[in-house]
Amino acid sequence: MSFTIRAMAKAACAAVTVAVAALSPGAASAQTAPKLDIPIVYITRAEDARLSLSFVDPDVKEPGVWGARLALKDNQTTGRFLGHSYSLIEVVVPEDGDVTAAFEKEIAAGHRFFIADLAHDDLLAIAQADGASDTLIFNGRAGETDLRTETCFPQVFHTALSLAMRADGLMQFLVWKRWPDIFLLSGSGPGDPAYAEAMRKAARKFGAEIVADETYSYSPIARRTDSGHIQVQTQMPVATQGAGDDYDVLVVADENDTFGEYLPFNTYAPRPVAGTQGLVPMAWHRVQEQWGSTQIQHRFEKQAGRWMEERDYGAWLGVRAIGEAVTRTNSADPAKIRAYLRSDDFALGGFKGVGLSFRPWNQQMRQPVLLTNKRILVSVSPQPGFLHQRNRLDSLGYDKPETSCDLQ
């Protein structure tokens, strides 16, 4: 008798569960959602790995693509419930290859979603290629200013931090600390002048002052010989002596890791170092543990066998942005995806404590800037007290009145 009663009770519960599931909006949308195949093309160019400054630096294999691979798994988890199938097509253009031809070949194959792990000129090339206007390209690497202020494209979304966002994030912190007097020391290598100019603009924007502005041409030294540290110990004070001690922070612009790492503890005046070395503004770093970041850090390390780098994070954001938009719109139409990404409804969880969204005027992703050294997270910008009439994240980087871009 008791067995019969239990069986009847289980049957009744099962019937109620099925009925509730059938009536729930989520189940209804899952049953009616179209079956979609969403191929995503990850495109990059082969290049020689940069020589590490020290043997303790990790040897980064395949920067960028591992972030796309991890995000693909995240998309597939949700997609299985909705009938959405995601795949990743990895295209590596040879060092001397034609990136535009490779891009147009993927367009001819019917692919419309692209993650671009490309330097500035290659990104410009594919953005202007035949058929590019019918695609969506997510820039996870190039941070140059002109891509956000002058040469904006309706099909290009930026998940990489801009140089202006890095500089603003750092300068906000220095002003908040009441360290407004800056000694700016820039190198002469590729990218150094642009980084330095971003710092000058940020100083003007937030009321800091560049009290000394110098360029340093570094003479390579044998840091791995017995006398290497002695040369550093004598050379760096001389290089920084011209500014005296009438400043609060030395901000260095050395994008190529040529001399910046030698500055901490070797400056003429005892001052902190920030910029490309020392306290560094970044989109992502292995020391980030807040807002659930440890789970993605562990998942990434398990998959890739190394820490997540900025290029990985930029690619991860691009693939996840596509997945979130496809899920919300039940569409793989690039025009519908673009409209949703630009809307107020879009917000992506990026393990930074706030929803990440795109600025409609230049399609730069709004996101906090992490300020880190090699072992700890020091702070996160925007800093307290730096407000904005629309979104506090818009205090970082180019605001709408500061750019000639006005994408519709």
Total structural domains in the chain?
A: 3
Residue 300 shares a structural domain with residue 270: no
Residue 65 shares a structural domain with residue 153: yes
Residue 242 shares a structural domain with residue 95: no
- Give the closest residue to 191 by CA, choosing from 145, 225, 230, 136: 145
Flag whether 373 is in a domain.
Answer: no
Measured CA to CA in angstroms, residue 232 lies from 108, 192, 263, 390 at distances of: 54, 21, 9, 47
- From 95-109, 205-219, 318-332, 356-370, the region with the lowest mean pLDDT: 205-219
- Residue 114 is part of which domain span? 36-161+285-367
Last residue of a domain, one of 221, 246, 280: 280
What one-character-per-residue DSSP string does 275-289 give? ESSSBEEES--TT--
Flag whether 224 is in a domain.
Answer: yes
Cα 135 from Cα 128, distance rounded (Å): 11
Provide the sign of the torsion angle of the four alpha carbons 206, 211, 214, 219, taken in this order. Answer: negative
Cα 318 from Cα 365, distance rounded (Å): 10
Flag whether 314 is in a domain.
Answer: yes
Residue 48 shares a structural domain with residue 141: yes
Task: Indicate whether 296 pLDDT > 80.
Answer: yes
Residue 148, SS3 per DSSP: helix
Residue 217 shares a structural domain with residue 273: yes
CB count in 10 Å sphere of residue 105: 13
- Give the closest residue to 126 by CA, choosing from 138, 171, 220: 138
The domain that holds 115 is classified in CATH as 3.40.50.2300
Cα 105 from Cα 159, distance rounded (Å): 24
Residue 248 shares a structural domain with residue 306: no
- Could you give phi then psi for residue 116, rounded to 5 degrees? -105, 105
Flag whether 389 is in a domain.
Answer: no
Cα 323 from Cα 317, distance rounded (Å): 10
Flag whether 351 is in a domain.
Answer: yes
Confidence of residue 206 (pLDDT cuts 50, 70, 90): very high
Flag whether 12 is in a domain.
Answer: yes
Last residue of a domain, one of 224, 257, 280: 280
Confidence of residue 1 (pLDDT cuts 50, 70, 90): very low
Supply the pLDDT for residue 23. 38
Q: What token pair was written down for 247?
A: 């400043």
Residue 157 shares a structural domain with residue 289: yes
Residue 65 shares a structural domain with residue 133: yes
Last residue of a domain, one of 223, 257, 280: 280
Task: Indicate whether 244 pLDDT > 60.
Answer: yes
pLDDT, tens digit (0-9, with 9 covering 90-100), for 113-125: 999 999 999 999 9
Supply the pLDDT for residue 54. 61
C-beta of residue 39 within 8 angstroms of C-beta of residue 106: no
Supply the pLDDT for residue 50. 67
Residue 146 shares a structural domain with residue 291: yes
Fill in the amino acid letter for 114.
F
Read off the DSSP letter of residue 48.
P
